[in-house]
Structure 1
Amino acid sequence: MTLTPLVLPADADAATWSVFLAERAGGELARAQRTAEELRAIAPGDDAALTVWNEIGIALGNASAVTSLLAQVHPDAGVRQQAEDLSQEISRVWTDLLLDVAVYERLAAVDADGLDERLGDGAQRVLADALRSYRRSGIDADEPTRERLRAISERLTDLGQAFGRTIRDGAGETRVPASALEGLPADYVEAHPVQEDGTVVIGTGYPDTNPFLTFSLDRDARHAVHATFLDLGWPGNDAVLAEMLRLRQEQAELLGYASWPDFDAEVKMIGTGSAIAEFIDQITADATPAAERDRDVLLARARQDHPDLHTLDVTDARFYSEVVRREQYEVDAQEVRSYFTFAKVRQGLLDLTGRLFGLTYTDVPDAPVWHEEVSVHDVWLDGERLGRIHLDLHPREGKYNHAAQFDLVPGVAGVQLPEGVLVCNFGRGRMEHSEVTTLFHEFGHLMHHILAGRHRWVRFSGVATEWDFVEAPSQMLEEWAWDAGVLQTFATDDDGTPIPVELVARMRSADEFGQGCYARTQMYYASVSYRFHAELPADQTARLRELSAQYAIFDALPDTHFHCGFGHLSGYTSAYYTYMWSLVIAKDLFSAFDPDDLFAPEVATRYRDTVLAAGGSKDAADLVADFLGRPYDSAAFRRWLTSS
């Protein structure tokens, strides 16, 4: 059977999309509920219970994907709200399902012995995962406890949406003197006209904030812009987060765990909440010598301009990191920027991933989309259409304002093609190299989703591994954005001259200069994620300051409230450590590639098939061992951390 992509509305009208959303999400939700009834009616011990369970997962996955996406990207506020409302209903159905004793009993009665032989590879793993999910939902608790767990789950869904909505819709702006544009690239200056009062408006979107903090020569203006950015979500999200933390802790205790981090870590590679704290402190200790050395270099340079400085805050550190790279490493970010035009970078990324993974992309210019700037591409392997990707890469009002990959359709072999969406907020002209690496990173998630979209069991589809591994493939793909040979295929200036090899080498050296500082900053974020959940601080802002002093290498900006705009506290909860944990693995994965030939087909194909295409069909540690031929270790990461 030839599978075809999901048909989206051809009419851009909000009413048409509203009907589509109701039919797609509502229809799949109703299908899931009907299928659950079928499962309850199955005779105890019948293997068919697991097959029907898979059908429920497909339906709920379809409903959840489309609502989660459109709640973040659709231009119409009414459609976004409708999607959020439907997401809440889907969450309630999932919660009810995982507290449904009759469904659980049908699954628990399936004989696990020989199940793979009877139903096919992976069946026993799917069953074990389902039974674990039921245990972690509280299926063994008494009825009052199950009812409380149900209420907590529904409230946490509401709070998570409110937390994200406040960040998404809370875009701010800072008015600074027109003179503050001194040092900014010409295209940036042109895009920020002077207002009648002599000021220019700097928004909180990345295309506005990032270049300003990097290049503006006006220190006061930089601090003002950064303070506005760090206060996204303040004050509303302070109370939202506090309630979210309390309810997660209550949920964990009702399920028999000492803390939310213990509950959350159980299904991750790291295993326990205490191991998270140990990991954070270990990375902090490992990174400190390099971080302090590089911090002192930045401070010495900053004091040439400001002799009274005794410490560096995060705003000054960002600016002087660029100054040091320019002066000591001969890397001028504006020069680098001249080689990265958005359209060329996007096409170059498609070309290189096609070459690396043996894929072919075909543009689908007439495909219906939710916004005219979204591009659509079908993905092919050996003449077979694997799936479809949608690239929504520029900012607009009401849109998700960070960078992430969203599912549109979870792939299932013989049932439906995987479709994924890249949602970013890049400018339409020049890109900074850091934005290029971000695009590569997020595209890695998209590749994972598409290549792992051919499993029979939806539980294995896409980015379905342990959560502290999911970033590793994306982090590894960033390595291709640092290779001169790769960059020269698409990074060219206005005259068509490729980026010089010598410049890329200097960019690498400049990037290595700040690795220790980067690691300490990441551990600060990870400590906020973990400690807030482990401690439930009464004064979140005060605890934020303490954690900054303990883990961050640079001073926090006074009177700012980073935690209220830290979106990962909603989705990643206590597990932000996973970015660094997975980076350890990513560096080890990359060590298998030949740095002189990053496109060597044998290793690239083996990586594609053993790690990416496998999805969640094995534990992450086993996937890595299949690829490397050994268990992963931290040797490559430690070499990287101390290489500057």
Structure 2
Amino acid sequence: MTRSPLELPADAAGWPQFLAQTVDASLAAARTMLATLVDGTDRTAEQVLDLWNDADAALAQASAAGHLMSEVHPDPDVRSAAEAGAQAAEDLATERGLDRELWEVVAAVDPVGLDPAAQRLHDHLLRDFRRAGVDRSADERERLRTLAQRCTELGLEFSRNIREGSRSIRVRPEQLAGLPEDFRAEHAPGDDGLVVLTTEYPDLIPVRTYATDAGVRRDLTSEYLRIGWPQNGPVLAELLRLRAERAGLLGYPDWPTYDAEVKMIGSGTAIADFVDRLDELTAQPAERDVAVLLARYRQDDPGATAVTAADSLYYDQVVRREQYDVDAQEVRGYFRYPAVRDGVMSTIGRLLGLEFTAVDVPSWHPEVEAYDVTDAADGSALGRFYLDMHPRAGKFNHAAQFSLVPGVAGLRLPEGVLVCNFPTGTMEHDDVCTFFHEFGHLVHEIVGGHQRWVAFGGVATEWDFVEAPSQLLEEWAWDAGVLSTFASDAQGNPIPAALVERMRRADAFGRGAWTRRQLNFTALSYGLHATPPADLDAYTASVDERFGPYAPLPDTHQVTGFGHLDGYGSAYYTYLWSLVIAKDLRTAFGDDLMSTAVGRRYREEILAPGGTADAADLVERFLGRPREFDAFEAWLAQRA
């Protein structure tokens, strides 16, 4: 019997009890079940795995609620308590992986007669025990435990410093020239006559895109690139050093080699090879794109010698307006948050055969909305999700999907949360793409969250595949037929197909520079972990010098605000690796993105299995062939 959705507190006073029941009590239950596993009782293979799974489900619930609330709850005391719960969950996972008695119980299981999913779980458990170091000496296991716990503390601190590290500048009202009228109306000067601009996305992106005052663009971008500095410098340095020590104790030459072992890419050297392959593919297209931006920049400033991050978005939209007849301010006039929200859900619902129904239930903030998910064909309940979509103080300041309730077949339905920082009014088209992207993670969490074994539920595929389904769904943000169903101007006129076609052509411009910038992040993420440098800023500068594509801004410290270095570690390559796969998956839809037959097959063959099969096998089953690089190369080579 499936349990009812998780009940959240109806008032502020209920949150300490919620954390006690959902995090603390779940951790206690997990500990009890793990202790039961080693109580000497003779159990069948299936009984051992079932008991492990029950403990895993309790641990996953504690971890999900702790991590989510530490990032989104408006009360700093609740965030702090939730962070402590998340730390406790990670510590228990570490203890479990190093427990020799547990390992001996699992290793003694005879997998003969188990179904394929159970056998896969057993194989993964033995693999994970080995990777935790359970077979090492007692002293080594204790050191590994200490290292893992300290890495968790450092990761949480690194993320907290970014989350709470918003910066700002103050400018005169006339320095908002070029920015949209609604933006200027929302940014009235204070008592001192100055306007405050923050590094949060609803300020940062419009300023970088539209502000004609180069000084304003530079100052705000520079502040953004100082988020987490100086606090995160020593935090990151220690985190990198301890990850390297963990890998060495476990017999690996470096952290990327250890980390990549359980991913599609397979090895650390394969990451380096992937970087080199993309380096060759992107160098000339990026150089060509940046040259166009610089030439246009010099029309405004003949002395300009380089394009920086403070100039790139601005001159990108200038070139698109002047050379491709795409005015970004005109485009954003067609995208209003409520319509985009409804349009994204309607589009994905029709494509995948899902229905989303708003429900009035308590949450952690008045702006958060909740929806129940059902199967459109038979009305069966599939899960629930929450939308926390606008910025506020102390909240996670990027865009991501979080689990709230990990689903378990027959026990509880999955619940997920989108956490974004969109404006409440008009949105950039890039915001629309991000919405489709993050909603892709959400439907993967919900549709894939119905496995017997919690370890395979939701987005529990190889980590370097997890972005592919979301990157695929960004394609729908570029389809004129799709956009016409929800994108309209103030008078209600749908976005013209001709404008969408010009947007598509303009999007081909800058593709080389965009991909090169992602490659920069990829190389930085990998290189920091392959050989942790003594000087983080100097190493970042060396990566910028090789990959660019934009000149660095002086006295900035990008690496301390690079949040993916916590969760993704050395695996930021995931985004480009998954993009290659996403472009290949796109070929299955041909000329009809709204083919419900292909959409339903995609739901069943890519999303619904969760982690019950290797991602490469899921892709090959869906495409009817092994994955290829061709579609990505064609996309990258496309000229405007």
Per the normalisation by structure 2, the TM-score is: 0.98
Q: CA deviation at 1:530?
A: 0.5
Aligned to 1:274: 269
Contact 1:43 1:106 in 2 (8 A): no
* CA distance in 1 between partners of 2:470 and 2:336 (Å): 22
Q: CA deviation at 1:144?
A: 0.5
* CA distance in 2 between partners of 1:85 and 1:115 (Å): 38
Aligned to 2:365: 371
Aligned residue for 2:386, secondary structure, equals strand
Q: CA deviation at 1:112?
A: 2.0
Contact 2:169 2:197 in 1 (8 A): yes
Aligned to 1:495: 491
**1:481-523 Cα shifts (integer Å, max 9, x gaps):** 1000000000001111000001101111111101100111001
Contact 1:463 1:616 in 2 (8 A): yes
* CA distance in 1 between partners of 2:198 and 2:303 (Å): 30
* CA distance in 2 between partners of 1:410 and 1:460 (Å): 10
Please say which of residues 169-178 and 190-199 is displaced more in the overlay. Answer: 190-199
1:216-255 alignment, distance < 5 Å? 216-255=211-250
Aligned to 2:611: 616
* CA distance in 1 between partners of 2:50 and 2:537 (Å): 49
* CA distance in 2 between partners of 1:187 and 1:39 (Å): 61
Aligned to 1:110: 109
2:398 counterpart (384, 398, 402): 402
2:514 counterpart (511, 518, 536): 518
Percent identity over paired residues = 53
1:303-322 alignment, distance < 5 Å? 303-322=298-317
* CA distance in 2 between partners of 1:384 and 1:544 (Å): 51
1:153-552 alignment, distance < 5 Å? 153-365=148-360, 367-381=361-375, 382-552=378-548
Per the normalisation by structure 1, the TM-score is: 0.98
Aligned to 2:576: 580
Aligned to 1:590: 586
Specify the code of the residue in structure 1 equivalent to 2:386: H
* CA distance in 2 between partners of 1:617 and 1:134 (Å): 19
Contact 1:45 1:111 in 2 (8 A): no
Aligned residue for 1:115, secondary structure, equals coil
Aligned to 2:82: 83
**1:427-450 Cα shifts (integer Å, max 9, x gaps):** 100000001101110010000000
Q: CA deviation at 1:199?
A: 2.2
Q: CA deviation at 1:299?
A: 1.1
Contact 2:74 2:393 in 1 (8 A): yes
* CA distance in 2 between partners of 1:360 and 1:312 (Å): 46
Contact 2:173 2:195 in 1 (8 A): yes
Structure 1 unaligned runs (5+)? none
Contact 2:2 2:412 in 1 (8 A): no
* CA distance in 2 between partners of 1:252 and 1:214 (Å): 42
**1:608-631 Cα shifts (integer Å, max 9, x gaps):** 000000100000000001100111
Q: CA deviation at 1:215?
A: 0.4
Q: CA deviation at 1:2?
A: 4.7
* CA distance in 2 between partners of 1:435 and 1:85 (Å): 32
Contact 1:361 1:377 in 2 (8 A): yes
Specify the code of the residue in structure 2 equivalent to 1:379: V
* CA distance in 1 between partners of 2:43 and 2:250 (Å): 27
Q: CA deviation at 1:553?
A: 1.2
Specify the code of the residue in structure 2 equivalent to 1:82: A
2:123 counterpart (128, 146, 161): 128
1:559-574 alignment, distance < 5 Å? 559-574=555-570
Contact 1:521 1:553 in 2 (8 A): yes
* CA distance in 1 between partners of 2:138 and 2:550 (Å): 50
Structure 2 unaligned runs (5+)? none
Aligned to 2:4: 4
- When residues 30 and 45 of structure 1 are mapped into structure 2, their CA distance, relative to the original with a 3 A threshold, is closer
Aligned residue for 2:589, secondary structure, equals coil
Contact 1:44 1:109 in 2 (8 A): no
* CA distance in 2 between partners of 1:214 and 1:196 (Å): 27
Contact 2:169 2:220 in 1 (8 A): yes
Q: CA deviation at 1:114?
A: 2.6
**1:407-427 Cα shifts (integer Å, max 9, x gaps):** 000111100010000000011
Q: CA deviation at 1:88?
A: 1.2
Aligned to 1:49: 48
1:138-157 alignment, distance < 5 Å? 138-157=133-152
Specify the code of the residue in structure 1 equivalent to 2:311: D
2:19 counterpart (15, 18, 21): 21
Contact 1:213 1:318 in 2 (8 A): yes
* CA distance in 2 between partners of 1:491 and 1:617 (Å): 38
Contact 2:221 2:309 in 1 (8 A): no
Aligned residue for 1:339, secondary structure, equals coil
Specify the code of the residue in structure 2 equivalent to 1:55: D
Aligned to 2:629: 634
* CA distance in 2 between partners of 1:541 and 1:79 (Å): 34
Specify the code of the residue in structure 2 equivalent to 1:201: V
* CA distance in 1 between partners of 2:519 and 2:221 (Å): 20
Aligned residue for 1:293, secondary structure, equals helix
Q: CA deviation at 1:288?
A: 1.6
Contact 1:44 1:106 in 2 (8 A): no
1:34 counterpart (32, 35, 39): 32
Aligned to 1:555: 551
Q: CA deviation at 1:594?
A: 2.6
Contact 1:65 1:409 in 2 (8 A): yes
* CA distance in 2 between partners of 1:534 and 1:351 (Å): 44
Aligned length: 636
* CA distance in 2 between partners of 1:359 and 1:107 (Å): 38
Q: CA RMSD in A?
A: 1.0
Aligned residue for 1:416, secondary structure, equals coil
Aligned residue for 2:418, secondary structure, equals strand
Q: CA deviation at 1:315?
A: 1.4
Q: CA deviation at 1:286?
A: 0.3
* CA distance in 1 between partners of 2:63 and 2:531 (Å): 31
Specify the code of the residue in structure 1 equivalent to 2:77: G
Aligned residue for 2:588, secondary structure, equals coil
* CA distance in 2 between partners of 1:43 and 1:142 (Å): 27
* CA distance in 2 between partners of 1:591 and 1:471 (Å): 17
* CA distance in 2 between partners of 1:311 and 1:211 (Å): 21
Specify the code of the residue in structure 1 equivalent to 2:8: L
* CA distance in 1 between partners of 2:305 and 2:356 (Å): 53
Aligned residue for 2:144, secondary structure, equals helix
* CA distance in 2 between partners of 1:220 and 1:8 (Å): 46
**1:357-391 Cα shifts (integer Å, max 9, x gaps):** 111111102x1111010000000002101000100
Q: CA deviation at 1:3?
A: 3.7
Contact 1:42 1:106 in 2 (8 A): no
Q: CA deviation at 1:43?
A: 4.5
Contact 1:594 1:600 in 2 (8 A): no
Contact 2:391 2:421 in 1 (8 A): yes
* CA distance in 2 between partners of 1:456 and 1:628 (Å): 26
Q: CA deviation at 1:291?
A: 1.2
